[in-house]
Amino acid sequence: MTSGRNTILKRETDMIKKQNRTPEEPEKEPETTQAGISWKSSLMLFLAAFIWGTAFVAQSVGMDYLGPLSFNGARFLMGSAVLAPLVCFNRAKRKREGVKPADNKATVKGGICCGLLLCGASLLQQYGILHTSVGKAGFITTLYIILVPFFGLFLKKRIPGKSWAGAVIAAFGMYLLCMSESLSLGRGDSLVFLCAILFSVHILAVDHFSPKTDGVELSCIQFLTAGVTAVILALIFEKPDIRNFVDGIIPLAYAGILSCGVAYTLQVLGQKGTDPTIASLILSLESTVSVLAGWVVLKQALTGRELAGCALVLCAVILVQLPGKKQGL
């Protein structure tokens, strides 16, 4: 949370300096490469992937106490509650310093849209895992790497050739990393594939709304929407017991505060300076980090095939972040 908060405060300071700049003082260009990539944004996206990867154990343990709807509802509401004080602090600070607030209408609209997509994708993934193997679910979910540029074409976004190449390399790397049996489309596979589609749309939705909104407020409303939706569904389809929430408070707190409150906010802030296709590739490191965390923390040895998959994903991420060729004048 500290890194995300410092990033937000720095952005507000830059806005104030921009307002006070004299006409003769030139405005500095953002620290991006010619491919349109901010290294600070890339770092925030990597931290988000790292948190999600290391939170895999906590999320798995939490399912021992709660159903998918109850667990997701509680973690998303916790994430929203963590961000609420920061939203109030930032609004008060902007008011004192006379900084123009973000578009409230766009923030609410974006938060609701992103929250519904996040809720749907997370639930489809969790239910899909109940009916298919983890290897299949991991590979099918990462198809969003390919789907993001595909949907981007419909939104008239130009996709660099190296992004397509990186997407194919990353997808093959995820195949080596996650797959352990022949691929066949069953009930669980279909649910996880729908999850990959929704995650692709979610990434593009964040890319659309984040430049027009405050990142923390967008995340807060997103989690509130996803949490309320999941809780309503849990009350209808599950029988949540308060004792189960108490017993599972540790994995819930980890998933709610870090995975939701910090990681998704880093995603929103990071995507402000990164192409959505490249963002999806960096975020795909979540699976690689989860395997490496299991190897280091849980002493789960990696096979040569899995190590090759990790290497391919890392190569893909490096490929899309290499500076492009300079355009001739």
Give the pLDDT of residue 4. Answer: 35
Q: What is the pLDDT of residues 158-170, one digit of tens each?
A: 777 877 888 888 8
Quote the CA–CA distance of 142 and 70 in Å, as a whole number. Answer: 25
Contact between 38 and 32 (Cβ < 8 Å): yes
Query: Which one, of 69, 85, 153, lies nearest residue 119 by Cα?
Result: 69
Asked if residue 131 belongs to a domain, the reply is yes
Instruction: Enter the tokens of residue 314.
Output: 């890392």
Q: Is the pLDDT of residue 237 over 80?
A: yes
Q: Is the pLDDT of residue 245 over 90?
A: yes
Asked if residue 326 belongs to a domain, the reply is no
Q: Is the pLDDT of residue 224 over 90?
A: yes
Asked if residue 111 belongs to a domain, the reply is yes
Residue with tokens 């590739």: 281
Q: What is the pLDDT of residues 149-193, one digit of tens each?
A: 778 777 777 777 877 888 888 888 877 877 665 655 677 878 888
Quote the CA–CA distance of 125 and 111 in Å, as a whole number. Answer: 21
Give the pLDDT of residue 118. Answer: 93
φ, ψ of residue 304 in degrees (nearest 5): -60, -35
Asked if residue 260 belongs to a domain, the reply is yes
Quote the CA–CA distance of 124 and 197 in Å, as a whole number. Answer: 10
Question: Range of 121's domain?
Answer: 36-320
The answer for residues whose C-beta is within 8 angstroms of residue 206's C-beta and 6 or more apart is: 114, 218, 267, 268, 271, 276
SS3 32: strand
Alpha helices in the chain (DSSP H): 2-20, 39-54, 56-62, 68-97, 104-129, 134-141, 144-154, 161-178, 187-209, 215-237, 242-247, 249-253, 265-270, 276-283, 285-296, 304-320
Asked if residue 27 belongs to a domain, the reply is no
pTM over 0.75: no
Q: Is the pLDDT higher at 320 or at 79? A: 79
User: What radius of gyration do the chain's Cα atoms show?
Assistant: 20
Contact between 215 and 3 (Cβ < 8 Å): no
Number of compact structural domains in the chain: 1
Residue with tokens 């998303």: 76
Instruction: Enter the tokens of residue 329.
Output: 């004048």
Lowest-confidence pick of 11-15, 111-115, 195-199: 11-15
Instruction: Enter the tokens of residue 205.
Output: 């939705």
Could you tell me which residues are beta bridge partners of residue 38? Answer: 32
Write the CA distances from 142 to 36, 146, 200, 285, integer angstroms: 23, 8, 10, 10
φ, ψ of residue 32 in degrees (nearest 5): -130, 160
Asked if residue 291 belongs to a domain, the reply is yes
Asked if residue 244 belongs to a domain, the reply is yes
Asked whether the CA dihedral 16, 20, 23, 28 is positive or negative, the reply is: negative
Which DSSP state fits 142? T
Which DSSP state fits 38? B
Residue with tokens 């807060």: 220
Q: Is the pLDDT higher at 27 or at 128? A: 128
Query: Which one, of 308, 25, 87, 314, lies nearest residue 178 by Cα?
Result: 308
Share the mean pLDDT of the chain: 77
